[in-house]
Chains A and B, each alone.
Chain A
Amino acid sequence: MALPAYALKAVQAPAPEAAAATEPPRTVADAVARSQVAEVLNELDCELVGLAPVKQRIRDIAALLVIDKLRASVGLQAQPPSLHMSFTGNPGTGKTTVALRMAQILHRLGYVRKGHLVAVTRDDLVGQYIGHTAPKTREVLKKAMGGVLFIDEAYYLYRPENERDYGQEAIEILLQVMENQRDDLVVILAGYQDRMDTFFRSNPGMSSRIAHHLSFPDYAEDELLQIADRMLAEMNYRFSPGAREAFDRYLALRVHQPHFANARSVRNALDRMRLRQASRLFAQADRALNADALSTITAADILASRVFTHNKTGDPHAPRPHHAVEVPAATAQ
């Protein structure tokens, strides 16, 4: 085919990194400074309470990625590391929050191009009739490309009791993309420990393609209290002098009750306390309210909780329900 005479000659696509990479990094500090990953790691340290093993693992992964950059700069090429992960832990232990941070970290390090997080569950991947699943899963995968695909409660994808379940099809497509388009997206599976174990046992292909298994411990009570402090500060509230102790007692009782969901339960408790505070203030129709009164949660707001009346019959020394992960902090109370 003859090129038209007026066609532009030698049209070249600019290399994507050509502008940025003036000189390859030489030292770890250089590479870290350039990727600004230290910032994210610090944020992770300051803003998330507890989760020591998780933070350590993330630091390890970040270190590997930085060293890989340095290796690449001296010509030691290696396969890009497999970054697919599984997050296991009880509800409210911060899996989604950490996944969001993970997307940022990987983006700063240049392992994902956009650094967005697409959070999905079974419903978003699995179709309702034959031939519906594959396009649906592919569509989600396309949206997640360049970022992180976060599959919450991933074990629902596999339903062994129904052999014609379409979940298996979604798993197969996922596996294929996880293997072939490793540099396009990172998949994070999340769920409760015991069910995820069963899921991985019945899908060995999935398990072997996931390099990083992170398990999220339950929060200790003092960590939950810190979390409460931060949540209140975010919402511009604060505890009155006696209220913090009352909330501590509240937590001590609450963790042994069923359906305790760590940080999520703390948030719900705080929301209920805001309600009580609001109606307390509402009742005092003639009082002039200043900022202090409007932002203070008193002990009375906390002690009105049902937890204090309800738990008298229960055994306060019972182990926490759904106690899949062995947590030293939780047993040491």
Chain B
Amino acid sequence: MMTNPTGRLTQGMFSFLPDLTDAEIKLQIEYGLNRGYAWSVEYTDDPHPRNTYWEMYGMPMFDLRDAAGVMAELQQCRKTFPDCYIRLMAFDSTRGVETVAMSFIVNRPEREPGFRLVRQEVDGRSMRYTVHSYATDRPETERYSG
């Protein structure tokens, strides 16, 4: 496929790599914690690139010292939403920065159908382009189940 050579969603860090193992995820979390970031878990079943805000799974986790807490939260989220995209985000609360410093996908649905290019003719011969996720043709909660 031209538009999706990897057959998978490429958003955030490490998305061109093979899926991280739990041990690797743990190391990344440790790295973030050592930098003083606050981790949070988010999930969605609408992978459109402009879908910036995913659903929060629980509160952002401030004041953690060890990756085990984040991993426990992630396992619970995986159990609850096995067919969703799940990502971990690290918030850097340094004054003046106050933004997401790391973000990577840690769970993907079994099958990722990808996106279609939608063309719309407007104003004579002008074209408008947009992308449309095949998955979102189906209602929420059924998008990756079958």
Chain A interface residues (CB < 8 Å from chain B):
1-4, 6-8, 11, 13-14, 113-114, 116, 135, 139, 141-143, 145-147, 181, 184-185
Bound complex: CA of A114 vs CA of B58, how far in Å?
24
> Chain B contacts of A184 at CB under 8 A?
66, 68
> Chain B contacts of A14 at CB under 8 A?
27
Contact B59 A116 (CB under 8 A): no
Cβ of A87 to closest chain B Cβ, rounded Å? 22
| Given A135-B58, A143-B65, A145-B66; A7-B73 close (CB under 8 Å) | no
Contact A142 B61 (CB under 8 A): yes
Secondary structure call for the A interface: loop
Contact B27 A142 (CB under 8 A): no
Contact A11 B18 (CB under 8 A): yes
Residue among B18, B24, B26, B69 making CB contact with A142, cutoff 8 Å: B69
| Given A116-B65, A143-B63, A184-B68; A13-B8 close (CB under 8 Å) | no
> Chain A contacts of B72 at CB under 8 A?
142, 145, 181
Bound complex: CA of A11 vs CA of B59, how far in Å?
31
> Chain A contacts of B67 at CB under 8 A?
146
| Residues 75 to 108 of chain B near chain A (Cβ within 8 Å) | none
Question: B58's closest neighbor in chain A, by CB?
Answer: A135
Bound complex: CA of A312 vs CA of B82, how far in Å?
74
Bound complex: CA of A246 vs CA of B91, how far in Å?
57
Question: A6's closest neighbor in chain B, by CB?
Answer: B16
Bound complex: CA of A181 vs CA of B16, how far in Å?
33
Contact B17 A113 (CB under 8 A): no
Residue among B17, B24, B66 making CB contact with A114, cutoff 8 Å: B66
B64 close to A (CB within 8 Å): yes
Given A142-B64, A145-B72: 5 more A-B contacts, CB < 8 Å = A7-B6, A8-B18, A13-B27, A143-B63, A181-B72
Some 15 contacts from A to B, beta carbons below 8 A apart, are A2-B7, A3-B6, A7-B16, A11-B17, A114-B66, A135-B59, A139-B61, A141-B69, A142-B61, A142-B64, A145-B69, A146-B67, A147-B66, A181-B72, A185-B68
Bound complex: CA of A139 vs CA of B112, how far in Å?
33
For chain B, the count of residues having a C-beta within 8 Å of the partner chain is: 26
Contact A143 B64 (CB under 8 A): yes
Residue among B27, B65, B70 with most chain A CB within 10 A: B65
| Given A4-B5, A4-B16, A139-B59; A11-B64 close (CB under 8 Å) | no
Contact B68 A145 (CB under 8 A): yes
Residue among B16, B68, B112 making CB contact with A146, cutoff 8 Å: B68
> Chain B contacts of A143 at CB under 8 A?
63-65, 69
Total residue contacts A-B, CB cutoff 8 A: 65
Residue among B8, B24, B27, B65 making CB contact with A147, cutoff 8 Å: B65
> Chain B contacts of A3 at CB under 8 A?
6, 18
Bound complex: CA of A143 vs CA of B72, how far in Å?
12
Cβ of A106 to closest chain B Cβ, rounded Å? 13
> Chain B contacts of A1 at CB under 8 A?
7-8, 112
B21 close to A (CB within 8 Å): yes
Bound complex: CA of A195 vs CA of B37, how far in Å?
40
> Chain A contacts of B70 at CB under 8 A?
142
Residue among A7, A116, A139, A181 making CB contact with B18, cutoff 8 Å: A7
Residue among A2, A142, A145 with most chain B CB within 10 A: A142
Contact B65 A145 (CB under 8 A): yes
Question: A8's closest neighbor in chain B, by CB?
Answer: B17
| Given A6-B16, A142-B61; A181-B21 close (CB under 8 Å) | no
B23 close to A (CB within 8 Å): yes
> Chain A contacts of B8 at CB under 8 A?
1
Cβ of B120 to closest chain A Cβ, rounded Å? 31
> Interface readout for B5-35 with A: 1 if CB under 8 Å, 0 if not?
1111000000011100101101100000000
Question: A180's closest neighbor in chain B, by CB?
Answer: B72
Cβ of A193 to closest chain B Cβ, rounded Å? 31
Bound complex: CA of A143 vs CA of B12, how far in Å?
26
> Interface readout for B104-120 with A: 1 if CB under 8 Å, 0 if not?
00000000100000000
Bound complex: CA of A177 vs CA of B84, how far in Å?
26
Contact B59 A114 (CB under 8 A): no
Cβ of B6 to closest chain A Cβ, rounded Å? 4
> Chain B contacts of A146 at CB under 8 A?
65-69
